[in-house]
Amino acid sequence: MTIGLAAPFTRPARTAVTLTAVLLGATSVTFAAGLSASLTRVADGLSHAKSEPVQVYLYAGGAVTHVSPGKRGAGPGAGPRLPSAAAQQRAVEAALRAQPDTLHYVAETTVPVTVAGITQQIPVTAFRGNASWTGYDIISGRWYSGPGQVDVPTNFLTVTGKAVGDTVIMTVGGTRIPARIVGEVFDPKDHGLAMFTDWQTLARAGQTLIPANYDVALRPGTSPAAYARALGTLGSGYDVSINGNDPFFLTLIGLIGTLVLLLAVVAGLGVLNTVVLHTRERVHDLGIFKAIGMTPRQTITMVVCWAAGTGLLAGVIAVPLGMALHRRVLPIMASAAGTGLPPSYLSVYRPAELVLLALAGIVIAATGALLPASWAAATRTATALHAE
């Protein structure tokens, strides 16, 4: 091991080439690990699948009430002989309370409003009850705490020129309703032109609001599918749906993993090329080491250590480089989509994970050096000395 770890100092230029190859591969691994974790959180933030895995949609008189953008399950009613909207609400809330696995639930509806500075009407989602758990991740500010307060996506602030703390005027049915922006949330749906508020904020316009759906949080360990089946006793006039992440993100994360694997293979091939050259140059030394008793296992250890020390150094350097690249690239991706990012989407590296990522350089270097090391171990002593 000592001989192997000292070998890189005899060929500084070649060692630099190996260091660069492993550094690029290890940096890619670190960056991809962070990117995959961040995209997973983005997918959860868009679908709210973790916070509200089940939704119950209501239909009144065979027609859909206000339906939240991006939610699944809206469609034609089951028939004209359905209970009234009030009766449906009572039935759903009674069914949700009766289920022991119900953790939280909240009624939700969406109303189109007019806002100064925006040419078209935008959807305002109103919640009846505490909705701080529904999974709208905060970029800045906080979630609303009462009537007269709203949370908005990033693009809303960009288009209107407003900031967190400013007052916005929305017009509902000819009634002007002032509200203070208390938070910026991650929600790029509807081009980021939306608002989220308390039920009573819109009730000030004198309109009767009818819930479009109920968002349901489940107790830990509860199967959303089993819970949805249990709510099947509600009968016709209701649509119970299970929330899930967009398959696009799963495909994207898979493609990232494939690309990183290819980059790691290329880095390993660079190490293999360097170690092959180094092994052939030192074939006489190998013959002498074998002549004085070096075993095949010791030979493999020595040759692998030629690259392992360089790989460790590259891995240690690659971790901060990959993290810096992650913090640089992800906000650019979000800006292209017209949104900001919550701090939690960037702080995805755990201490134990960083230690493993630092060892990625050793893995790449050792894997690339293993084939020439096996060749060196299999070479006969007489053949090595004869080649010299």
Q: How many CA atoms lie within 13 A of 23 on its CB side?
A: 13
The pLDDT tens digits for 297-338 are: 887 888 888 788 888 888 999 999 999 999 999 999 999 989
pLDDT of 386 above 90: no
Contacts with 11 (C-beta within 8 Å, 6 or more apart), sequence order? 278
Measure the CA–CA gap between 303 and 334, rounded to whole angstroms. Answer: 45
Least Cα distance to 370 among 303, 295, 274, 270 occurs for 303
Q: Which tokens go with 88?
A: 């449906």
Q: Is residue 387 predicted with pLDDT exceeding 70? A: no
Is the Cβ–Cβ distance between 170 and 120 less than 8 Å? no
- For 147-201, the pLDDT digits (tens) are 999 999 999 999 999 999 999 999 988 889 999 999 999 999 889 999 999 999 9
Entry pTM: 0.79
